[in-house]
Structures are given as C-alpha cells and as structure tokens.
C-alpha cells in the first residue's frame, strides 16, 4: 500500500466499523461489468445486443451519471433468463477465471488488518449480491451490503428488491443493516470507508475516516480538497 493510511485505533471489540467498496477498490477491476463480459464470452448473452449497452452503462457509472434503475433493469434481467443451476455453474467459473486474478495481496492485507483488530467489517457495493457474495467470502469479510435482486423462490425475477445500494442508497442500506444488528453508525468509536469512486461521496462524507483508494479523478480532487487519505492497493 502507498499513501497515508490511517492507523488502527487501540479500541477493540467491534467498536470500530470498517466498510469496503468492492469494484476497483478491493478488486483491481469491476465485477459487475466483468460478469456481463464473461457471459458474452461464454455465448450466454448476444455480443452485438449486450456488449455495446454494457459499455454505455459502464461509462455512465465512471462519469457519475448512471441511472441505477435503468441499469438494474438491464443487468438483473440476465439473471431472470436462466435457471439457478446454470447461474451457479457460471458463477463458479467466473470466480476462478475473472475474480481471483483481480484480488491482490495489498487488498487482502488491508482486510486482514481490520479483521485481526476485531473491527466490524462489511463489503458495501452497488453490484448485486448474487455476483458479490462469493467475492466477499473470498476476502473473509463476514458481512455484505449489496443491491438485492428479487427472487421468486430460487428464481430471479429480473427486478430489484428494496433500495439499490448505490450513492445515497448505500447510506439507506447501511443504516438498515446496522439497525438489524441493534447498532447505529454514531455509536461506533471509529468508522472507515474505503472507495475508489465519486459515486461514493455521500457515504465517504458520512464516516469518520473516509479513505480514497486508487481514486477516480473527481474523488482524487475531493480527497485533496478535504485532506482525506489516499492509498493504492495495486
């Protein structure tokens, strides 16, 4: 890791909260985008029909202009077209071929430092929980706050369940998750959030220790203006 990294507090016993964005933060790539590309390469999705639109949404995300509901209608619809058994098989291949190569030693070390300090740790990501649950497990992070795809039994409907975990929605989902644990953000002695993206400025502005990780240009400028730590996990 490089840059100024906040030192862990001496307080223990899950009195600190550590939140990790996933795509382009802990991962050296975007799992949501790569899932679509993986299905295209497998011939599951039509390249001409899907790839161009996937790229458009990805550029909108990077620019901070993404309509999350339009994107989720597009992305979650792919889950609804296939059986749970098919999806689980592809997901296992996706983890091996696309995700594990995007997990680096510095990211694993950062997570391990917080886990060893007995911090309450969670991945908080806009990418849906079907794709991200095994990634959180790969890092050993026990909690996942993600966009939830709606299911009818075991089958996906193609719709989102509840509030998408994106921009201000991350704050809504975080408060809901903490309330379910009988906790509140304000009660933690320390709260840290690691992210690469301007889209996470609402939550970065809320925690006690915002940390920009390999940030995009807008987040880098905002971090410099506010004096936030900037680190690299690459």
68-109 pLDDT tens trace:
899 889 889 999 999 999 999 999 999 999 999 999 999 999
Q: What confidence category does residue 48 fall into, taking pLDDT thresholds of 50, 70 and 90?
A: confident
Radius of gyration of the chain from its Cα atoms, rounded to whole angstroms: 17
Compute the distance between CA of residue 56 and CA of residue 154 in angstroms, rounded to an integer: 30
- The CATH number for 86's domain is 3.40.50.1000
| Nearest Cα residue to 210 out of 61, 20, 29 | 20
Per-residue buried b or exposed e for 106-144, using 16+ beta carbons within 10 Å of the residue's own CB: bbeebbeebbebebbbbbbbbbbbbbbebbbeebebeeb
pLDDT exceeds cutoff 60 at 13: no
pLDDT at position 175 is 98
Q: What confidence category does residue 14 fall into, taking pLDDT thresholds of 50, 70 and 90?
A: confident
Catalytic residue positions, numbered: 21, 23
Angle CA 212–216–31, to nearest 5 = 90
Strand, helix or coil for residue 192:
strand
- In sign, the C-alpha dihedral spanning 102, 24, 92, 141 is positive
Q: Taking a C-beta distance cutoff of 8 angstroms, is the pair 15, 185 a contact?
A: no
- Check residue 103 and report its DSSP letter: B
Task: Give the residue numbers spanning the domain of 57.
Answer: 2-232
Joined together, the tokens standing for residue 47 give: 């390249």
Compute the distance between CA of residue 111 and CA of residue 97 in angstroms, rounded to an integer: 22
State the residue for tokens 């009660």.
187
State the residue for tokens 């091996």.
96
Global pTM reads 0.91
pLDDT at position 114 is 98
pLDDT at position 62 is 86
Residues with Cβ within 8 Å of residue 55, at least 6 apart in sequence: none
pLDDT exceeds cutoff 90 at 3: no
State the residue for tokens 């016993």.
13
pLDDT exceeds cutoff 60 at 59: yes
Least confident of 75-84, 120-129, 194-203, 212-221: 75-84
Count structural domains, the chain: 1
How do strand 120-128 and strand 143-152 relate by DSSP bridges?
parallel
């Amino acid at each position: 890791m490089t840059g100024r990294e906040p030192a862990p507090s001496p307080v223990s016993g899950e009195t600190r909260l550590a939140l990790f964005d996933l795509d382009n933060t802990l991962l050296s790539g975007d799992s949501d985008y790569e899932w679509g590309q993986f299905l295209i390469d497998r011939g599951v999705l039509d390249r001409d029909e899907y790839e161009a639109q996937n790229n458009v949404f990805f550029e909108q995300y990077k620019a901070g202009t993404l309509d999350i509901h339009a994107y989720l209608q597009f992305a979650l619809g792919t889950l609804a077209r296939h059986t749970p058994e098919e999806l689980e098989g592809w997901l296992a291949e996706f983890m091996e071929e696309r995700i594990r190569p995007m997990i680096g030693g510095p990211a694993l070390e950062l997570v391990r430092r917080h886990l060893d300090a007995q911090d309450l740790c969670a991945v908080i990501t806009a990418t849906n929980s079907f794709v991200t649950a095994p990634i959180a497990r790969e890092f050993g992070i026990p909690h996942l706050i993600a966009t939830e795809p709606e299911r009818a039994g075991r089958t996906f409907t193609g719709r989102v369940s509840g509030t998408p975990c994106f921009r201000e929605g991350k704050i809504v989902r975080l408060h809901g998750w903490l309330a379910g644990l009988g906790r509140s953000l304000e009660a933690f002695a320390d709260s840290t959030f690691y992210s690469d993206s301007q889209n996470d400025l609402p939550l970065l502005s809320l925690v006690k220790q915002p940390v920009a990780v390999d940030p995009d240009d807008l987040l880098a400028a905002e971090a410099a203006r506010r004096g936030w730590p900037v680190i690299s996990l690459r």
